[in-house]
Structure 1
Amino acid sequence: MSKKIGCGGVFYREFTKLNGFTDFTTLSVVHTHYLMLEMVLFLLLVVVEKNFHFIDNKVLKYLLFYHIGLNLTVFLLTIRGVVQVLSLDASIAVLIGIAHLILGISIVLVLISIRNCVKDSF
């Protein structure tokens, strides 16, 4: 996990420096997307799992769906950033929106599973 996180930051810094690009690019948010959406979220899920034991096969499918959405989001943000730095004419906003939608749906399903488990434990 940390290699993916570090690669996003290094690629952003070196690619923009190599191309003399100083404006905003979505490459700058690849690093934070991975850091927050992968590491921090799953550390929080470990704490919740330890207390409420909510993970079952259904939740594992939701988390797999989440990982697909996360990796697709970061991949498309990287492509969009490269397009911005190279001043190419391409729009992938719809695909990024779909990837974010996958993230949103899957995290809502995980949160509903946590809510149901917490409600059952009281």
Structure 2
Amino acid sequence: MKKLYVSALAYMVAGLVSGIYYREITKITHFSGDTMLAILHTHLLILGMFFFLILIALEKLFLLSENKRFSFFFWIYNTGVIWTIGMMAVHGTLDVLGITSGPAIAGLAGMGHIILSIGLILFFLILKDALFENDHA
């Protein structure tokens, strides 16, 4: 339970800091176009803080962490979020600085999304087990 709380808290801090980063780097560079940095804040708060706050409630109800897949899910999901967010931050920063990011950044971002998707699939398998473990229908 504590690691879920710490995760939510860490993503909240990262989300708030990313909002400040976006505002300040665009102000300093006089950037006014579209950039991935504009949605970094929201991604961190939703995929990070809110997801883990919801997970805390589900843990209280269903003891999801007792599932043998839970630890694997936890690390895969966090790896996917951090990887994806990291690539968004790199891509967005390059946009603001006027540097073309190229296909390598897009490919790495895609890998982050794949890892994140695997984490979400694991989460739903764990949730299914918790919801329907005694349901034989």
* TM-score of the two chains, using structure 2 as the length reference: 0.83
CA RMSD of aligned residues (A): 1.2
Match of 2:130 in 1: 117
Q: State the alpha-carbon separation in 2 of the partners of residues 74 and 4 from structure 1.
A: 10
Letter in 1 for 2:76: F
Q: State the alpha-carbon separation in 2 of the partners of residues 111 and 39 from structure 1.
A: 18
Higher RCO (CA-CA < 8 Å; seq separation 6+): 1
1:20 aligns with 2:30: yes
Q: State the alpha-carbon separation in 2 of the partners of residues 101 and 48 from structure 1.
A: 24
- 1:94 offset after TM fit, Å? 1.1
Query: CA contact under 8 A between 1:76 and 1:95: conserved in structure 2?
Result: yes
Extract unaligned runs of 5+ from structure 2: 1-9
- 1:89 offset after TM fit, Å? 2.2
| Deviation beyond 6 Å, 4+ runs, structure 1 | none
Q: State the alpha-carbon separation in 2 of the partners of residues 3 and 67 from structure 1.
A: 15
Match of 2:14 in 1: 4
- 1:117 offset after TM fit, Å? 1.8
1:108 aligns with 2:118: no
Match of 2:78 among 41, 64, 67: 67
Match of 2:51 in 1: 41
Match of 2:3 in 1: none
Letter in 2 for 1:35: L
Aligned length: 122
CA deviation string 1:38-86 (max 9, x = no partner): 1111111111111111213421221111111111111110100011111
The equivalences for 1:79-90 within 5 A come to 79-90=90-101
* TM-score of the two chains, using structure 1 as the length reference: 0.93
Aligned sequence identity (%): 30
Query: CA contact under 8 A between 2:29 and 2:96: conserved in structure 1?
Result: yes
Q: State the alpha-carbon separation in 1 of the partners of residues 126 and 86 from structure 2.
A: 28
